[in-house]
């Protein structure tokens, strides 16, 4: 079965295991929701794909991106454990 190819919405490069910027958490998806404060039926959403490094590169420096730490916790089985 052929793997689905993704293109980063920030840099335009491909996202995959052979990509130069590959991170084990790639591809990442960013979901844009328009009319966020409106009722669900008035909202619209679209999903974009990106490299984790590109996403972190465009985020303002004071906005934490904690997905890598969460992934480590998932690997350890710590998230959602009772």
Q: Which residues of 47-64 are buried (b: 16+ CB within 10 A; e: fewer)?
A: eebbbbbbbbeeeeeeee
Cα–Cα dist 10/50, whole Å = 7
Choose between 73 and 28: higher pLDDT.
28
Contact at 8 Å (CB) between 16 and 7?
no
Q: What percent of the chain has pLDDT over 70?
A: 78
Q: Is the pTM of this model over 0.85?
A: no
Provide, for the chain, the percentages of residues in helix, strand and coil under a 3-state DSSP scheme, each rounded to the nearest 5.
25, 20, 55
* pLDDT exceeds cutoff 90 at 73: no
Q: If phi over 0 gives left and psi between -120 and 50 gives alpha, with beta otherwise, what is residue 12?
A: left
């Amino acid at each position: 079965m052929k793997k689905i190819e993704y293109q980063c919405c920030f840099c335009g490069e491909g996202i995959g295991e052979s990509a130069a910027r590959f991170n084990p958490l790639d591809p990442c998806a960013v979901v844009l929701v328009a009319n966020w404060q409106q009722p669900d039926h008035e909202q619209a959403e679209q999903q974009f794909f990106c490299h984790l490094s590109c996403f972190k590169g465009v985020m303002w420096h004071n906005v934490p991106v904690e997905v890598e730490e969460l992934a480590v916790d998932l690997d350890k089985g710590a998230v959602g454990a009772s």
